Amino acid sequence: MLALKKALLPVDFSGRCMGAARYLHALAARFGTEVTLLHAIPPPHYEFTSVEVGGAVLDDLLANRMAQLRAELDKYLSAELQGVATRRLVVEGDPARRIVEYAHEQGMNLIMMPTHGYGPFRRFILGSVTAKVLHDADCPIWTGVHLEQAPQFEAIAFRTVAAAVDLGDQSRRTLEWASGFAEAHQARLVVVHATASIEGRAGEYFDPEWREHIAEAAAAEIDKLGAGLPPAADRIIEAGDAPKVVCGAAEKTKADLLVIGRGSAAGVFGRLRQNAYAIIRQSPCPVVSV
């Protein structure tokens, strides 16, 4: 069974954190997940060094600020995480670095990032902290640009899970994670793959069945990757831009969760990381990057 015993929620006290906590409550109800809330205070801003403030004064300011934040964090999201085993921690340092360090030290199974949505501009912007954590962390990372609109815990359901694979080294792990999550929720599993978009140039012969050959070869590779796992309910193999194909499939199948790989050497699309950010920004549902 998929192990989700320990999850980390970095908090910035925004509305996105409330939505993230609701999803974590749903995971805790299913997997018995222990949740750690972590708030990182960036180092004192350079502007403090432009005035004559002694080190002792800065230390006092930081200590007071940390005490205030600990008091706020002790009560934060209590309603959303009622009944969930929860730890709360305030640390000093670069937020992205401290998030990744803590996740590694504590052996977290998941990081739930309260990703920036930015309304209609979400397609073009991904928070810098989220981008750094996606780049550096080893464990799966849950992101969602719609967290402000997350339903109440009781209404959260996972009926369809989509797994996007690029047939690279990371694809087996992606399928295993998605399959385990779908099995735990008795959800439908859909596997999605985007093939290269190949067009014949003017004056050149182009085999009209070439796309079918590519799709058949991809389907065979997916079968190999999924060996020993419960079979997927559906497979979607389409030619085109990877983010567009993947997000379109998630929308078409009404996926409640999209699972992708990141950082693997990957077929014609190079490193999936090149597409991961676009998929996260454009996905109609939360995305877990494995």
Let me know whether 1 and 141 are in one domain: yes
Whether residues 102 and 141 share a domain: the answer is yes
State residue 65's pLDDT score.
86
Whether 26 and 100 map to the same domain: the answer is: yes
The 110-113 sheet, strands edge to edge = 86-92, 34-41, 6-10, 110-113, 141-143, 287-289, 257-260, 160-164, 188-195, 234-239
Please, what is the average pLDDT of the chain? Answer: 86
Given 153, 179, 197, which residue is the final one in a domain? 153
Both 7 and 124 in a single domain? yes
CATH (domain of 149): 3.40.50.620
Alpha-carbon dihedral sign for residues 94, 100, 103, 107: negative
Segment 95-119 mean pLDDT:
89
- Whether the predicted pLDDT of 157 surpasses 80: yes
Band of pLDDT at residue 164, cut at 50, 70 and 90: very high
Q: Give the Cα-Cα-Cα angle 29, 276, 256 (nearest 5 degrees).
A: 35
The last residue of one of the domains, among 102, 133, 153, is 153
pTM for the complete prediction? Answer: 0.88
For the segment 133-143, the average pLDDT, to the nearest whole number, is: 94
124 shares a domain with 28: yes
Number of domains in the chain: 2
Residues 255 and 268 in one domain: yes
Longest alpha-carbon distance in the chain: 77
Asked if residue 273 and residue 147 are part of one domain, the reply reads: no
For residues 182 and 168, the model is more confident at 182
If one compares 275 and 59, the residue with the highest pLDDT of the two is 275
* Of 35-49, 62-76, 175-189, highest mean pLDDT: 175-189
pLDDT band of residue 80 (cuts 50, 70, 90) is very high
DSSP annotation of 178: H
Mean pLDDT along residues 222-248: 92
112, 134, 153: which is the final residue of a domain? 153
Query: What pLDDT score was predicted for residue 37?
Result: 99
- In angstroms, the CA 284 to CA 287 distance is 9
Q: Are residues 14 and 97 in the same domain?
A: yes
- Same-domain pairing of 40 and 161: no
Structural domain that includes position 32: 1-153
pLDDT band, residue 193 (cuts 50/70/90): very high
Q: Say yes or no: 213 and 85 in one domain.
A: no
Is 200 found in the same domain as 148? no
